[in-house]
Chains A and B, each alone.
Chain A
Amino acid sequence: MPDFDVIVVGAGPAGSCAALTIARTGKSVVLIERGPFPGSKNMYGGVVYPRILDALIPEWWNEMPVQRWVTRRSTMLLTDTQSLSIDFRSDAWGDAPYNGATAFRPDFDNWLANKAVEAGATLVCSTTVTGLITGANGEVIGVHTDRPDGDLTASVVIACDGVNSFLAKERGMYPHTDAAHFTLGVKETITLSKDIIDERFAVRGNHGVDIEILGGTSGVNGGGFIYTNLNSISVGVVLKLPKLAAQSKRPEEIIAGLKSHSAIAPLVEGGTVSEYSAHLIPEAGLKMMPKLLDDGLLIAGDAAAMCLAAGIWLEGVNFAMASGMYAAQAACEAIEKENTSAKGLSLYKKLLEDTFVLRDHRKLRRAPQLVLSDRVQHMYPALITGVVQGMFQVNNPVPKPGLRKILKNERRRLGIRTTDLAKDAITGFRSFG
């Protein structure tokens, strides 16, 4: 008899949703977390899109620990001396059933894990899973942990151990790992008073802002973000690993560069940096996804590279929660049918394929590469801002030049070939269109 029906490794959003789903069926589940409490070791930019929680926690918005409800989304293009923003605001996002919210991971993850505990899951913290235990036929039957007498067995193990999953790698689920598939996310939390944040970001009450930035990363391919919490803002950059390694600036210097940009400095000035953190992001989507299941083993969340990082979207938490939930459903079905082999667990793949998790990844499979490409990173922001400057600059030409002419001049000035522009436009349209 195994110790538990299911072992879930990692109490991040994926793991907690998996444990919650399993506990609700009455099966025994242990959720093992290496940090002293769920969320203690976790960081992210700051916005959760919890729609998937409708299926797990009805009216979650009444209890979820929220900093601010996101009612304003901006996308900003930066060159060294210019900025262009597309700004959208929806009052509907400030009321139930809401859209997205800023939240702190130590609050959010802890809340979600406690939901699993309330449903009957056993949570063990300060315990690191160090490896998989395999049975006579090579199937996964449990885990080793770093505690004395630390082995545990189960019918199914769900690895939700985040990016760089050692469990998935140990099992050989990642056929090829490549540094180019990852970005490094670095973030400063800057304390400012609520009144100042409300004023600078033009929001009131518990409404907040999500700004995604292209450019401003000191020439390293990546992007930036600014999110408003209640009494602080999160300012960060995500940086393509090989490009970061190929130059000499440190990540904190790159954030400092972003903060000193004339479009950003007024938003952050006078604030106190109260936290600095960094974490890898599995950025390459479908291209880097590992084998998702094996005999007795399922991989979910960032461990399975489910994070969707596609320029204007950086969504990992909702993909993690959904994949954790689907992994749990598949595990429960397999246990009930007494077949926990890869075949018995195959419902997981089907649930992912049928829902936004793999559908979005499939549709946006070219997006990460496009967004992080040199042209999108270094040429197009200059092209677009140049065109806008050309349109709004008043130096009394006769007649005022038309958009086509300005575009042509800017394209020539920057040395962008029409064929490349057309190619990227098609890829962009296929992904985002």
Chain B
Amino acid sequence: MTPVIGVCVKWIGSQPNSGHEADARFAQFSASDQAALETALQRAEQLSGRVRVVSVAPAAARTHLVALCASGAHELVHIAAEGQSSSAHVAHELAQHLQECASVWCGDYSLDRGSGSVPAFLASTLGAQQALGIVGITSSEVSNTLDLLRRLDAGRREIVRVVEPFVVSVEGSLATLRRASLASTLRPTATLVDASLVSQSAPSFGEFSPFRPRPRTIAAPVGETALDRIKSATSANSPQKHSEIVTLAPEAAAQFIVERLTEWGYLS
């Protein structure tokens, strides 16, 4: 069976924060969405697969979606929606058309600087692995496993391994979208699927709240004077170390972190 590689793009009708009303002439896709498409096209070439671009977008986006797909996408699924939807809802709608995709590529930001959470909801809906902030692909062999270079804060990087099915969101620097040929610009070849929303709201993903460790009961500080009690409560006089530098192999390091978090009450 020909593998289908999914790409999700978000169309933005006008420049973010411009204060102007949406104007289709200035519509764009973010550089990271374009990089996602280019990466998917390259993967499709490696796997002899097909690229399916899926977008929840208003009717005004149509010509821009078609022009984007002229770069080589095989299918375009345009899910018509005029208003704003939540990330969870958008992901739910996109997922309807990405079920058979072993990999789905998204940009890690849209031009309106949304929350960037659609890929996470999508991965959850598809039961796929997820990685975000991808700036490079380090594995070269063609397989269902990919090693990806991921950005971390302060310019650091890490390599994450994802196994299909996966949803990744990439940075714009990962790839530059190839220019569409004149022939495909004049006569678009991507199969166009007009789709409509399957539901008017997002399915429940449960309640979300920030993680807070449970409160622990600790004994009242002891001491003659208030100062002594403060010292006791803050462990100011204790020989206990407040930081620890260890050098461990990755697996032992992960184990070490889990142990410490458990000891401190963050994990039960």
Contact = CB atoms under 8 A, between A and B. Distances in A.
Interface in A361-408: none
B25 A124 contact: no
A217 interface: no
Nearest to A36: B25
A147 B178 CA distance: 10
B84 to A, nearest CB: 25
Nearest to A145: B182
A147 B25 contact: no
B183 A124 contact: no
A26 interface: no
A394 B181 CA distance: 74
Interface in B211-230: none
Interface string A124-149: 10110000000000000000011111
Interface in B66-100: 67
Contacts, number: 32
Interface string B157-181: 0000000000000000000001111
Nearest to A144: B182
A230 interface: no
A221 interface: no
A126 B180 CA distance: 10
Interface in A144-178: 145-152
Contact of B25 (A110, A126, A127, A150): A110
Contacts of A40: 25
A36 B27 CA distance: 10
A151 B178 CA distance: 18
Contacts of A37: 25
A234 B185 CA distance: 36
Contacts of B185: 124, 127, 147
A152 B187 CA distance: 13
User: Lowest 9 CB-CB distances: which A-B pairs, in order?
Assistant: A147-B182, A148-B181, A150-B182, A149-B181, A37-B25, A149-B183, A124-B185, A145-B182, A149-B182
30 contacts: A30-B186, A36-B25, A37-B25, A40-B25, A106-B25, A124-B182, A124-B185, A124-B186, A126-B67, A127-B182, A127-B185, A145-B182, A146-B179, A147-B179, A147-B180, A147-B181, A147-B182, A147-B185, A148-B178, A148-B179, A148-B180, A148-B181, A148-B182, A149-B181, A149-B182, A149-B183, A150-B181, A150-B182, A151-B182, A152-B182
